[in-house]
Structure 1
Amino acid sequence: MAAREIVPGVDQLKALTHPVRVRMLGILRVDGPATATTLATRLGINTGATSYHLRQLAQHGFIEDDESRGNARERWWKAAHQATVTGDGDVPDTPEGRETLDAYLQTVVTIYAQRLQEAIEERALLPKEWREAFGLNDRVVRLTPSQASQVEEQVNTLIDDLEDDPDGEAVMFQFHVFPLPGHLGADQER
């Protein structure tokens, strides 16, 4: 079983600033081991590009060979961790560290937006029970940074405590915590 999580350093994080790599890693984490050919088909890119990105992910410790599968002609890859965890406290507070973290976060947001768009496009095809469970909402609450961090921790703990149901479906939770853009400090100006 893959390790629970990885807290990448700056060099590792740089490897995840490419959207194809983030998508590949996500596929391997959710759907399990795959070959370059399988991933190329799913991502709509050629196998040469796929192999290059897989080597980059392996070089930086995000994926590894799945030696229990394959043969001399096909190489299977698997995720080395279940999650990537990073934030301001996990990278050096240097221009390079901040720039790399921002580039990674831009990539992640792009992937999240794509996933959300795909979910909306497939919503009409879902069974009624899943359409009713489908939720998009945003809530704005006035909090301190400490309170916001506490809420995020509680939500993550709640999700972490859920056990996979063998009869269930893969469900993605996108949960974001950030000051409402354009409002930070606005109350003091009034």
Structure 2
Amino acid sequence: MTETRRITDVATLKAMGHPLRVRLYGDLYMRGTATASQLAESLDDGTAVSLVSYHLRKLAEHGLIEEAPAESGRDGRERWWRPAQESLRIDGADFRGSPEGAAAHTALSRIIYEQRREHYLRFVEQRSGWSEAWQDASDASDFHARLTAGELKELTEELHAVIKRYAEQGRAAEAAGDSEGRETAVVHLYGFPFRP
């Protein structure tokens, strides 16, 4: 498994640009490994396993996911899947020269935003079911700053480094057996110019 994959070709961008594929990739990323049956069940909307399998194969054709190595105790009749990389990077600059690529990047960005929005709204609706500690730790902030493009890029890189450091600390703690009280924390960042 590679650490980070940067998607630079339009074909892979378009393959990823389907709402169900983005959802399946995200679910695999969270679980680590899963079968088509498990992923279909987690969708909780009646999506057929055969349709999930089709979309998983499309993601695999573009190297976004791969078959997970067999582990003892698993049913060998089902295919297990995992992300083929620890993270994906999709940079709009890679598609500026191509109208088709720019359109595919915009479409995928909208799908990703909608799914992130759904995640946050699910938390808002279920907030009272979380402990007070988790409710107090959650955040929804909005900042406005007068910056240059270079300053915004530097700010983004610093925020990414901080989040990555905390994620690595969490993985190391869990690997050492310290999993009590740990949940998956989702942090969405958007930084963009805006003219009111």
For the criterion TM > 0.5, the same-fold answer is yes
Alignment of 1:38-187 (within 5 A): 38-43=38-43, 44=45, 45-69=47-71, 70-91=74-95, 93-162=97-166, 163-164=169-170, 165-166=173-174, 167=179, 168-180=182-194, 182-183=195-196
* 1:5 paired residue number: 4
Gaps of 5+ in 1: 184-190
Cα drift, residue 89 of structure 1: 2.2
SS of aligned partner of 1:7: strand
TM-score (norm. length: structure 2): 0.87
SS of aligned partner of 1:161: helix
User: Between Structure 1 and Structure 2, how many residues are aligned?
Assistant: 181
Name the structure with the higher strand share: 2
Q: Distance in 2 between matches of 1:102 and 1:57?
A: 19
Gaps of 5+ in 2: none
SS of aligned partner of 1:84: strand
- The percent identity for this pair of structures is 29
Give the superposed CA RMSD: 1.4
Name the structure with the higher helix share: 2
* 1:22 paired residue number: 22
Q: Is the 8 A contact 1:7 1:90 kept in 2?
A: no
TM-score (norm. length: structure 1): 0.90
1:136-167: CA deviations, max 9, x gaps? 11111111111111100000011112211422
